[in-house]
Structure 1
């Protein structure tokens, strides 16, 4: 080449190099040429490089061309990630630098580009995929990460071998900029360590590295993005695997070609690879030769391990695919794979909110157990997994049955200080954390039970258990935050029960410790971060601070930025923000803050899916409260009512899903109080029909669910689902909670580990499957379950009643009200100031006296005085204005013949009212309310002097009105449609007097002798020899009398026995006879048993009259609006009419009243009329009472001598059921004595 040609080439090279300015091998670099321009320039440089090789082979210009071509090629790789471009760029840059002919700046630029290219597969990994969650690595990303981590001769990307060169290049670049940052050198040291460990089979090094990672000392790995999650997920398995290898010979097993390989199963594992070999192989994947599809299998394993460490690493679709592959034996899955697939499927269930995923996880676990055969280690792992599986299922649409089954399993896991049974598993990856989580969950469920029972002592004991658990934890363990979190919850519960400021302070302290704990797993951290707004709001009750609450809101908002771990996580976070903003509004009164709270809650509502009924109910209720509180714009109250009804309907659906009364009541407890608040908003908005709907959707939910459940089997059968219908009737799905007496361990665990064929079901699966199957055909199911106001008013007319009256206590400082429904009229409301919180003072005083009357000195006298005051208030504040509003005084006074004039013929029909008394108004004996009529009457209400104007001092409500009670409008309608049975169906008299019902036997025998000579007798009758000896009167026998069996029911069942009102339906019970060779508990007929008793197979539409003549049979000491008393339970399904009592009346007075009641029945009166007549008889002076043929001489003398007119003696007894008169619904009259064969027809 001559000088002229050389000059021309140099000029063309300089021009081309100038046009490459800015080209770098960095992803996203914007400078330099791109696209077609870059490709043309690269072709030009390649041509110039060929010319240089011919004419200037040793000239620095030739190396400059090679370096810039390398930079352009690297730039194209950075844009498109084509591996040939990366390798070509590396070759060009390495060659140019090796010549040592580059200018210093070009030499340094080439070093920078080489670092990017050598690390390329690690830095240029593409994550996620179309339609996947933001932040997901995705399976494609995992494949690339595995490639990065494998040596090049095993199919990797060559990054491992390049680490020494990368370190040299980094130091070279760093020297030009004042030194390499220490964290970069640490990262390079870690990469060098990883390289040596994986390529050299250094088991001890593997163990040391894993220990460092587990201790949280990730150092530079903390900045490795998605790879950090992979390292964290793999670290426990690496440590465990290395420990196994050390025990076997200090080195990784080698394959035939001298490379590290996965371990083979030992003789003990011959029957099938266990979880141990599966996890070990997952750890070895990065150091094993590629064997066809094997790398994909372990990529899936690693992906699932990482997903469990950091949920959201995989998209939901990919997670489902991975779990399906790992759980499929036809794709080579072994038991370890299937257990891992089950864990992944559980995670998918939480993220997607699908209970069916937990059923699939249960199937996978069972399949793993079946495939593995007897394996104590696998059994221990399964036992540790099942409580989490059941709890997860409950959270995403299961029932409290799932929680109860989890509790039974968790009781098998020892607390600190208890004997441990998991020694063989203590070294397994993550086992310590699983034990801490299980122990915390076990205590949490105990806390839940203690809170529901209001048991302060139990909560104090659980504080001690949690402190012991906290002391037993390594504070650096990633799950050590859980005992702190639970301690915060327990102290908060104690603060709520006791009002203790110290407990509140402790709650804030422990919650803050939990939220700031180090090393929290990412899967838990995102949910913990949601807690800042509630925590700092809680702390403001100790030291009010708007700034602290706003800081909590800011921190919780950050939790919205990550991938949700739970299906409703974002909605929960926004709900927490809404609560905090509401607290700020309370402190500042700023209406703009309340508006912001509403906006946040509207966003929360929009983010809700159908998966979590609890969240749906909670968010809609928060919105209802916010709109109800704002009440500034025209439709605020209407919106409050609408959102409240949505919340109540969701709660009703949740109650329906529960198996049994006890679980249903636990879910229903919030519904009634919310229904009252919502009805109050509707009344304020002038929407009485909506008020009725709110009340119907929120009260007596358990009774409503029982009614729907009773028809499910028939509806399933109609759709051809006969097997499911039979299972529904059986009512006990496989895997129910509790212990199997024979196996000695929880039934679900036995079903999973035992040899039975088939897959065990989640406890909630049966009810959920049945209800979901019916729902598509009945999209209006929620609306269909409650009657509207017009239907209720029509039912009032059909029953021959004057009105159905809802009594609503006022909320906050507002007045209470009555919602009135009468035939032919739309519903309307009546303000009742006497039902405001201040106006209800006599009721509060009565409840206080009732709580102490059995223990306090002079408690009985105080209670009777409070009862008298209560009756005065009930008449003046409530029933008097109700009768005024209904214009029923004239009718009532005329029918009762209280004017002193001769009675007219025929006598007018009596006033008939049915009361639905909401809240604790349900304890008031409204029939004893003292009324002051508008004109002069001759009443028998209270013996005292008349008023100066000649009016009577007052009359009791039962003198003017036939009063019945109903638990809800639904129950009222059900009662009005149930026929009374004719008397010739027979009667049964049951006497179980216990130790103190001295007059019970005399009462029963007198009734038998006078009114029911052919009645069947049951129980204990000591004063008369009977042959044959009467049956004991057990719960089973009584249920048969009520029609629960196959033989139908009798017309009347009179029960002279103890009745006990308790705080829950399992303790409210009739004390009946118990079978021989059993304990007295076998004689308890509880509310739970009554409602859980399926109807008999006779298909009768009618029901008997049931008389509960003693003790507290229409009283609940809690959950008044659920109305779960013995009386309501009987009226719900088994009886047409029930007479019960709200307190224990004196024996003599009770016996007299019962005798008069049966006498009036015998005269043809319907049960509500007969009860009213008996109570009027008690009120009359002894000289003006009609003769009653059933009264014994002893009772007659007592009636003459005692003052039976006091409410204490007679007002306890109430009627529930059919409110109509005799013959109204097809009956032939009252309960006339039967003349039959002496045995009840059953």
Structure 2
């Protein structure tokens, strides 16, 4: 049987014409992507890819014809990817090199680069592959005049890829600069009205992520309004409607969470969410109109947003329905796909949440918890290690699930002990892995934001350890959390030496050339992907970390001081003990965790040591006169409105009295001392306790 003949140039013309007639509704996308399979006479995207590559391979190489044909295949490839991933990097590299070397070049080559690079947005690739796509765009844009439509198209693609890479790899400075570049290009003539509406939606989603990260409720509410405005202008079957509604639901849920935390509410107000999503049946109807990979994307987005909404509303049946969307998405994906990992993680957290939800049948709760733990274990294993941006989050979810299962084993002490031990182990690994995220950030502000979140997690794990009497583990958790930003700065100073010792002189020179101060970016510097701040960009940091992580220096990157290290330092300084002051919370009383110079670690219960203690709350309400908070901050505690009636001075005096009676008086009785000598200690106050002037306690 003879293969159906085809003409790639004619096919590209047909695609262009079909796109101008409409590529807005889901069925339009399915129709256009199906057109490619029909013209090639193939039943599947794999079959079409194999035929295109084999036919190209049969052409004479290093000719204008082979270069043009390679570029045409790369231009058509995104249409195939809507049906099925095409991940053969070796063959793709061949086509790219042939198109670059022997194609017509100029604006033709630039557009081939731009269209071919959409692969990085359609399907999550490795950071190295995405860096290669960015490099091709940077090379192609050089010959194009500033402000030209083709150059703006390349710059927009570059910004989208950088944002995608930042989300994949965890570089917040890359993400922020990419968002600003996309905003700058928003009014470019390269976008028609429909495309500009999509840019507005993407900007609103990206900026809502930034607002959540910064815990900025006002900005988040504004970006929710912007996204609502875009959705109101879409047709009911618009190809992106389900995804936008899902992102809107997530943003609304995050706004309610931020509001509840600020107000000190443990409950959530379902009525405040105002769900944007249609019924599950309507979501499935809209998704069914899309090609296979589009269905996988939208099923995952709708499932994740639905779980967030139904969990806040305490709707157990809604959680089950949302999890079925995620399971359908997983059926369309391969386990090595990043989307599989994210969907499986959310599915695992949904099962774990049902285990503690009042609306779930009691007989099913243990089964849900076991299933949740299984999903999270598998997801953590597939994510590969600390370099994966969700590794820390998945680890903390799994540690919390083990903790819950241990707490539920009321009549099996051994099972409780084993599950609690596993929760500590996984939690400590997750906190330790947060070091990677902080090291990746460029600039103090981004590192501090990441370090703050890691500090909150470290405090949670430390409290588990204290409750279990595992004091050495508690020391590891607290020290990992409190010194992340300082540790990152210390490691950064030694990076060139470590790279030089590994023979990575080129990377070392790049690191030195990046310097300490990053200049402001203008339109011409947009592709540098480095916002105003300090230090090398996250893209450079990612490459450096990958080199160091595969070397003996890996331990220096991630390890924190051990109890033995602390004891050695105490003896060298002539101090009797290092004392962590841990505020009470999560059912664990306030504790002074004492590490003595002789190597012993023990906990001293201090029931009055809480961040909600009245003297501390009054002092903070009065403006904490003369003091600023220290230590790793955590979630803001509810504060009384207005200053204390008798002013800041009286509040300070009461705080010093409280610090002495509630903490230092019982602590001094526990500290080791020599004959005739008062103990000399190092105090490490955690969370909001850093605002207390402990040296003035009485």
TM-score w.r.t. the length of structure 1 is: 0.46
Shift of residue 817, structure 1, vs aligned partner: 1.9
SS at match of 1:820: strand
2:219 paired residue number: 458
Shift of residue 335, structure 1, vs aligned partner: 4.8
1:614 paired residue number: 389
SS at match of 1:828: strand
Q: Deviations over 1:306-329 (max 9, x none)?
A: 2443451x2334663465345431
* Conservation of the 8 A alpha-carbon contact between 2:25 and 2:235: no
2:87 paired residue number: 315
SS at match of 1:914: strand
Shift of residue 914, structure 1, vs aligned partner: 0.7
1:880 and 2:641 matched: no
1:662 paired residue number: 445
Residues 524 and 209 of structure 1: is their aligned pair in 2 closer, same or farther, counting only changes over 3 Å?
A: closer
Shift of residue 667, structure 1, vs aligned partner: 1.9
| Partner residue of 2:542 out of 751, 765, 768 | 768
Superposition pairs of residues 274-423 of structure 1, within 5 angstroms: 293=66, 297=70, 300-301=73-74, 303-310=76-83, 312=85, 314-317=86-89, 320-321=92-93, 323-325=95-97, 327-330=99-102, 335-337=107-109, 339-341=111-113, 343-344=115-116, 347=119, 351=123, 353-370=125-142, 376-397=148-169, 399-414=171-186, 420-422=187-189
SS at match of 1:411: helix
In structure 1, distance between residues paired with 2:619 and 2:90: 63
* Conservation of the 8 A alpha-carbon contact between 2:349 and 2:376: no
1:556 paired residue number: 326
**Aligned positions, number:** 642
1:493 and 2:254 matched: yes
Shift of residue 563, structure 1, vs aligned partner: 2.8
In structure 2, distance between residues paired with 1:425 and 1:393: 23
1:600 paired residue number: 375
1:794 and 2:568 matched: yes
SS at match of 1:777: coil
Shift of residue 697, structure 1, vs aligned partner: 1.7
In structure 2, distance between residues paired with 1:292 and 1:603: 48
In structure 2, distance between residues paired with 1:771 and 1:209: 42
In structure 2, distance between residues paired with 1:602 and 1:865: 52
Superposition pairs of residues 194-273 of structure 1, within 5 angstroms: 207=17, 211=21, 215-217=25-27, 227=34, 230=37
Residues 198 and 824 of structure 1: is their aligned pair in 2 closer, same or farther, counting only changes over 3 Å?
A: closer
1:847 and 2:620 matched: yes
In structure 2, distance between residues paired with 1:867 and 1:483: 50
| Partner residue of 1:645 out of 428, 431, 447 | 428
2:521 paired residue number: 739
1:705 paired residue number: 488
* Conservation of the 8 A alpha-carbon contact between 1:316 and 1:348: no
1:187 paired residue number: none
2:469 paired residue number: 686
1:506 paired residue number: 274
| Partner residue of 1:915 out of 683, 690, 694 | 683
| Partner residue of 2:353 out of 565, 583, 605 | 583
1:440 and 2:214 matched: no
TM-score w.r.t. the length of structure 2 is: 0.79
2:635 paired residue number: none
In structure 1, distance between residues paired with 2:335 and 2:558: 36
* Conservation of the 8 A alpha-carbon contact between 2:592 and 2:603: yes
Instruction: Report 1 or 2 for greater relative contact order, CA contacts < 8 Å, sequence distance ≥ 6.
Output: 2
Shift of residue 357, structure 1, vs aligned partner: 1.8
Residues 860 and 785 of structure 1: is their aligned pair in 2 closer, same or farther, counting only changes over 3 Å?
A: farther
1:148 paired residue number: 4
Residues 810 and 398 of structure 1: is their aligned pair in 2 closer, same or farther, counting only changes over 3 Å?
A: closer
* Conservation of the 8 A alpha-carbon contact between 2:81 and 2:293: yes
Structure 2 unpaired stretches of 5+: 42-51, 261-267, 410-414, 531-535, 628-639
2:44 paired residue number: none
In structure 1, distance between residues paired with 2:614 and 2:40: 62
In structure 1, distance between residues paired with 2:191 and 2:276: 36
Q: Deviations over 1:27-54 (max 9, x none)?
A: xxxxxxxxxxxxxxxxxxxxxxxxxxxx
* Conservation of the 8 A alpha-carbon contact between 1:358 and 1:393: yes
Shift of residue 208, structure 1, vs aligned partner: 7.1
Residues 837 and 850 of structure 1: is their aligned pair in 2 closer, same or farther, counting only changes over 3 Å?
A: closer
* Conservation of the 8 A alpha-carbon contact between 2:491 and 2:557: no
Q: Deviations over 1:1105-1157 (max 9, x none)?
A: xxxxxxxxxxxxxxxxxxxxxxxxxxxxxxxxxxxxxxxxxxxxxxxxxxxxx
Q: Deviations over 1:803-854 (max 9, x none)?
A: 100111233122232221112232222233333677x454344434447999
* Conservation of the 8 A alpha-carbon contact between 1:648 and 1:671: yes
* Conservation of the 8 A alpha-carbon contact between 2:590 and 2:610: yes
In structure 1, distance between residues paired with 2:326 and 2:477: 33
1:526 and 2:301 matched: no
Shift of residue 507, structure 1, vs aligned partner: 4.3
Residues 311 and 364 of structure 1: is their aligned pair in 2 closer, same or farther, counting only changes over 3 Å?
A: farther
Shift of residue 388, structure 1, vs aligned partner: 0.8
In structure 1, distance between residues paired with 2:74 and 2:493: 47
Shift of residue 471, structure 1, vs aligned partner: 4.0
* Conservation of the 8 A alpha-carbon contact between 1:396 and 1:611: no
* Conservation of the 8 A alpha-carbon contact between 2:249 and 2:276: yes
2:590 paired residue number: 816
In structure 2, distance between residues paired with 1:683 and 1:205: 64
Structure 1 unpaired stretches of 5+: 1-82, 84-120, 122-146, 157-196, 235-281, 415-419, 753-761, 892-907, 930-955, 957-1242
In structure 2, distance between residues paired with 1:671 and 1:580: 23
* Conservation of the 8 A alpha-carbon contact between 1:398 and 1:765: no
In structure 2, distance between residues paired with 1:801 and 1:379: 63
Residues 149 and 832 of structure 1: is their aligned pair in 2 closer, same or farther, counting only changes over 3 Å?
A: farther
Q: Deviations over 1:143-177 (max 9, x none)?
A: xxxx4353xxx8x9xxxxxxxxxxxxxxxxxxxxx
Superposition pairs of residues 38-77 of structure 1, within 5 angstroms: none
In structure 2, distance between residues paired with 1:213 and 1:350: 16
* Conservation of the 8 A alpha-carbon contact between 2:111 and 2:150: no
Q: Deviations over 1:833-880 (max 9, x none)?
A: 333677x45434443444799998774615444444433333333222
1:826 paired residue number: 600
Residues 451 and 204 of structure 1: is their aligned pair in 2 closer, same or farther, counting only changes over 3 Å?
A: closer
In structure 2, distance between residues paired with 1:612 and 1:516: 38
1:725 paired residue number: 508
Superposition pairs of residues 116-127 of structure 1, within 5 angstroms: none
Residues 678 and 211 of structure 1: is their aligned pair in 2 closer, same or farther, counting only changes over 3 Å?
A: same
In structure 1, distance between residues paired with 2:479 and 2:19: 63
Shift of residue 657, structure 1, vs aligned partner: 1.5
Shift of residue 603, structure 1, vs aligned partner: 1.6
SS at match of 1:563: coil
